[in-house]
Structure 1
Amino acid sequence: MSTKKLPPHYEKQDNNELHFAVCPACNNPVQIIGLNKRLQHTDRPYAKHYHKSIQGLADFDKEAFESCSLAHPRDDLSKNSRKPACTERERQILTSLQENFDQVAYLFQLYSGIVMTPYLAEEMLKWYVAEQGHLYRGGSLINAPWVFVYLSKAQNLWGRKIKDAELRETLCEKVPTGTINDKDQFVTTGHEKVFFWFAKHKQTKSADNNLKETMQLFVTCDDKDIFKKTITFDYELFQRLMNTPDERRIYKEKFTELAQKYLG
């Protein structure tokens, strides 16, 4: 990062040079420590939340700061926890989901091994809106795709295309009449009830002081757990996907129009 020593990213106070940026999770000002001066305890610059507004850059929002996953990672998040009001930060989450919902669908399929169809996407969108998912206390711009999926209700797995080899094998072994047909769909000939959902969203600081977020995918057959998978959020991957040109987005029209209907 280069501030070019120009405001609002740069300020000189007495003999100190201060460099500023914006927190990607809460939109509050952050001070970049060690940008031009080597630190004793680390050879890498790092960001520290700045509890004052920076004119032309960002206003300090105490509520957003206290809910910020980068400042206050939590391992006790509840799906029912919501912020009291919708601010610009939450509106940006909705906009990001709306404009990049094709990539949200791709990430869901990549991490779960379950193909996202327009019908499933619509069911999840309806639930997200009804539950005011954009107000979830553990949500931010950097984890929006995973939180969207995390907040979804349990979904029936019957008839869904399964790409993950381990999940396919488990379904065939653990569901008495379960099989994968020639269209890669999971089907049963009996009356087993097989559902998938997501739970246990956790935020922790890694050994190198970076934020690590995880959640778990569960699959049950007649209310008995038969499959579990830990999913680790990859913020950089989502950033790269958002920057993908429209002409290279295979599912953009199909999914973003659907998101516009519910999130626009």
Structure 2
Amino acid sequence: MDVFKTHVGEGKALMINEENFYLATRERKPYVVDSGGVKSFYAVCPECDNPIQLIGLLRRQQDSLPHRPYGRHIGHDVPGVAVYDEDAYLSCPFSDPGYWRTDGKRKPSNPTGQALYRIMRDRFDRVEYAWRESSGLLLGIKSLRRALTVWRNDKGWLNYGSTYHNLPQMLFFGLPQETLYGQCVSKDSPLASRLAAADGIFLEPSGFSDSYLRIKTSRFVDVGFVLGARKARVVNDRLTETFLLGVNVEGKPLGSDLVVHTDPVWFSRILNMPDWHENHRLSAMAADVLG
């Protein structure tokens, strides 16, 4: 992996390099362990909250990828950094991107699950912004409330497939079709182009932003979207995860599915921006649904 964080739970994902590690840890214990004159560097996996070791952080270390340090899971606790959780490790996309756990869920006491719940409850407006940026869809508050209510009832934070970087997409993953009528779409998005070319669908000014158009249809035309086909890949230690967004008109697919991408580092930065301008309406709704 090419990212790390310094503690279990909510935390900013940082690119692995010597400067970031120094600034985040000051190279103090327990992140640095000196054993017989050999230093080992430890941190936390931003996806599964397990301990990781940073390899090749210093140029003189030999066990590293050429010119680039990386992180790898270790199968034991690192006191003061993180406790090893084998279930979380097996479900982590950095350990096996193709593994999709279908049995069991995180325990209610699991710190990752608790952190995901807090993020969805306390920073839902940031989750919604990330969804909007990745999909091009600006959904009304009724649709968002429905999705969040299902997430609450299904205890989505305990799903091993939900991680710190894909919460915006997992909110809609596998849900029944949601109507697009009256919703807004980014005018520059591939989705807008797809809808504009369809018979019986019209895009009109949204009335509140020049960046978005409102989706309208001819009478009785049913148009909606679904999100599925989650796929994670790790290429050159960088995690990428995609979902397929399908648009259905009168129950039939409107062309091929569109690809929705995640961006772990970008979303982590959004979640941890200190000068974020809060959307109080969305925050109040999330607090009402999640308590």
TM-score where L is the length of structure 1: 0.88
Whole-angstrom distance in 2 between the partners of 1:14 and 1:218 = 57
Whole-angstrom distance in 2 between the partners of 1:10 and 1:148 = 37
Please list every run of 5 or more consecutive structure 1 residues that lacks an aligned counterpart in the other structure. Answer: none
Confirm or deny that 1:19 pairs with 2:41: yes
Please list every run of 5 or more consecutive structure 2 residues that lacks an aligned counterpart in the other structure. Answer: 1-20, 207-212
Which residue of 2 is the match for residue 146 of structure 1? 169
Confirm or deny that 1:242 pairs with 2:242: no
Q: Aligned letter for 2:137?
A: I
Correspondences of 1:200-239 after superposition (within 5 Å): 200-206=229-235, 208-227=236-255, 228-239=257-268
Whole-angstrom distance in 2 between the partners of 1:41 and 1:22 = 20
TM-score where L is the length of structure 2: 0.81
The CA deviation string for residues 93-123 of structure 1, in whole angstroms up to 9 with x for no partner, is 1111222211111122222222132212101
The CA deviation string for residues 25-44 of structure 1, in whole angstroms up to 9 with x for no partner, is 11111111111234364211
- Evaluate the alpha carbon distance shift between residue 185 and residue 5 of structure 1 in structure 2; reply closer, same or farther with a 3 A threshold: closer
Which residue of 1 is the match for residue 191 of structure 2? 167
Tell me the SS of whatever aligns to 1:12: strand
- Evaluate the alpha carbon distance shift between residue 182 and residue 34 of structure 1 in structure 2; reply closer, same or farther with a 3 A threshold: closer
Whole-angstrom distance in 1 between the partners of 2:246 and 2:117 = 26
RMSD (Å) for aligned C-alpha atoms? 2.2
Is the CA contact (8 Å cut-off) linking 2:126 and 2:271 kept in structure 1? yes
Tell me the SS of whatever aligns to 2:220: coil
Q: 2:287 aligns with which of 238, 241, 260?
A: 260
1:151 deviates by 4.4
Confirm or deny that 1:29 pairs with 2:57: no
Q: Aligned letter for 1:24?
A: P
Whole-angstrom distance in 2 between the partners of 1:100 and 1:243 = 10
Q: Aligned letter for 1:122?
A: R
Confirm or deny that 1:123 pairs with 2:146: yes
Is the CA contact (8 Å cut-off) linking 2:224 and 2:249 kept in structure 1? yes
Correspondences of 1:178-189 after superposition (within 5 Å): 178-183=201-206, 184-189=213-218
Confirm or deny that 1:9 pairs with 2:9: no
Q: 1:193 aligns with which of 211, 215, 222?
A: 222
Tell me the SS of whatever aligns to 1:162: strand
1:244 deviates by 2.6
The CA deviation string for residues 135-187 of structure 1, in whole angstroms up to 9 with x for no partner, is 2222112322222232443201111122244433432432x322123433222
